[in-house]
């Protein structure tokens, strides 16, 4: 499946927004009240790709095979991010190597490494990595619904889940990523709702394609999409509350639909830089996964970045860790790729941006 230029660009942009949201407590130079809304774009796009893959594959793999394939895909980036976060904490906080301490560390953190932290077991050293375990679980559940009875799932299951889900979501008093909802974290519930919306992104995209828009109509549609994205970024930096989040989610559904339809003019303008954009999107995931440990350490020592130089230093160190994560993950992934191919899935993109 070919990478989408406009979606990759927005993934990169929204990864930066998430970082701005997380550093807001350590600096007075950045005010980003609701940057976590940007994660919804990632989840909706992920759901869209899942439904697209189901349609393109035709003969679906069994849910347990899908789980294994996704586990292999996510394990490398998650494990490398965990190792970097854990190494940073060991260096800063110190670690007395004893058998007891080693056993405690393993029993607390093995669940995060294995990406089953949704059970509520253990610690969470690298908080943003919740998205990996949530995508693994929710993706398998949705794939199972498609595999068992696609018609019933998309015509009845998805609408009912979305109606009840948004109603429940709107009444939740606490919506932290680790808010416990009785059987899973809020982050898993959020991922489930967002990924289901991906089905409608695919359908809206198909509808736009059938319209055969001319150049002028494509430009107007693309301009409208860009203006809405700018509006959502303004909201994320200045507003708080579920009504704003739900509005952003609605915009994200529209934006992903336009991108998937192939009518976005950005694809034509900078599509020739697909290789560079693909690398930026891959590094955006690395940025998302590795930026938090440094913030956590600075909070622990009450270190703030209220000068541009201090903020630039944090940005430089974070970019360096991001590059290290991306390079290590890429090397390991490429070497293991042949062994980890299942039903035509690839773990890395080729030079054309295809998977």
- And the tokens for 162? 């979305």
192-218 pLDDT, tens digit each: 999 999 999 999 999 999 999 999 999
214-258 pLDDT, tens digit each: 999 999 999 999 999 999 999 999 999 999 999 999 999 999 999
65-74 pLDDT, tens digit each: 999 989 988 9
pLDDT at 33: 92
282-296 pLDDT, tens digit each: 999 999 999 988 887
What are the E-state strand segments in the chain?
A: none
* pLDDT-derived band at 85, boundaries 50, 70, 90: confident
Any idea which residue has 């290290």 for tokens?
Answer: 324
Q: How many other C-beta atoms lie within 10 A of the C-beta of residue 90?
A: 12
Distance CA 225, CA 187 (A): 27
Distance CA 347, CA 339 (A): 10
Integer-rounded Cα radius of gyration of the chain: 20
**Dihedral angle at the C-alpha atoms of 204, 209, 214, 217, nearest 10 degrees?**
10
- Is 274:4 a contact under the CB 8 Å cutoff? no
Distance CA 279, CA 227 (A): 25
Distance CA 282, CA 4 (A): 13
- And the tokens for 278? 């693909």
Query: Residue 353: is its pLDDT beyond 60?
Result: no
| Domain edges within the chain | 5-336
Q: Which residues contact 130 (CB under 8 A, 6 or more apart)?
A: 117, 124, 177, 178, 185, 187
Beta-bridge mates of residue 234: none
CA distances from 354 to 26, 266, 327 (A): 39, 18, 19
- For the chain, give the mean pLDDT: 87
Q: Which residues contact 268 (CB under 8 A, 6 or more apart)?
A: none
Residue 257 CA neighbour count, 13 Å, CB half: 22
The enclosing H or E element of 291 equals: none
CA distances from 100 to 93, 110, 203 (A): 17, 15, 54
Its sign, for the CA torsion 158, 6, 52, 341, is negative
According to DSSP, residue 154 is labeled: I
* pLDDT-derived band at 186, boundaries 50, 70, 90: very high
Query: Residue 313: is its pLDDT beyond 90?
Result: no
Distance CA 196, CA 143 (A): 11
Distance CA 255, CA 264 (A): 9
Distance CA 139, CA 195 (A): 8
pLDDT at 348: 47
**Dihedral angle at the C-alpha atoms of 175, 176, 181, 186, nearest 10 degrees?**
90
């Amino acid at each position: 499946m070919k990478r989408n230029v406009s979606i990759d660009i927005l993934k990169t942009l929204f990864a930066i927004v998430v970082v701005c949201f997380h550093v807001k407590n350590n600096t007075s130079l950045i005010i980003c009240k609701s940057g976590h809304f940007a994660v919804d774009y990632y989840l909706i796009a992920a759901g869209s790709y899942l439904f697209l893959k189901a349609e393109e594959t035709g003969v679906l793999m069994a849910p347990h095979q899908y789980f294994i394939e996704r586990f292999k895909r996510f394990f490398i980036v998650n494990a490398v991010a965990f190792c970097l976060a854990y190494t940073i904490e060991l260096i800063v906080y110190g670690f007395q190597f004893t058998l007891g301490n080693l056993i405690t560390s393993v029993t607390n953190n093995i669940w995060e490494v294995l990406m089953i932290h949704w059970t509520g077991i253990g610690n969470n050293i690298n908080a943003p990595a919740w998205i990996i375990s949530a995508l693994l679980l929710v993706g398998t559940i949705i794939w199972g619904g498609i595999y068992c009875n696609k018609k019933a799932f998309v015509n009845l299951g998805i609408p009912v889940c979305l109606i009840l889900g948004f109603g429940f979501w709107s009444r939740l008093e606490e919506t932290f990523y680790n808010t416990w909802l009785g059987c899973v974290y809020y982050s898993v519930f959020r991922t489930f709702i967002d990924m289901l919306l991906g089905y409608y992104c695919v359908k809206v995209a198909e509808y736009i394609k059938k319209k055969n828009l001319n150049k002028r109509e494509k430009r107007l549609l693309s301009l409208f999409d860009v203006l809405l994205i700018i509006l959502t970024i303004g909201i994320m930096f200045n507003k708080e509350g579920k009504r704003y989040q739900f509005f952003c989610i609605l915009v994200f559904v529209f934006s992903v639909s336009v991108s998937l339809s192939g009518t976005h003019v950005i694809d034509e303008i900078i599509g020739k830089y697909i290789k560079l954009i693909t690398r930026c999107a891959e590094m955006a995931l690395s940025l998302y996964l590795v930026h938090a440990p440094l913030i956590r350490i600075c909070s622990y020592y009450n270190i703030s970045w209220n000068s541009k130089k201090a903020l630039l230093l944090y940005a430089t160190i974070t970019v360096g860790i991001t590059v290290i994560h991306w390079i290590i993950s890429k090397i390991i992934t490429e070497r293991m790729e042949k062994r980890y191919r299942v039903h035509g899935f690839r773990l890395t993109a080729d030079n054309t941006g295809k998977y």
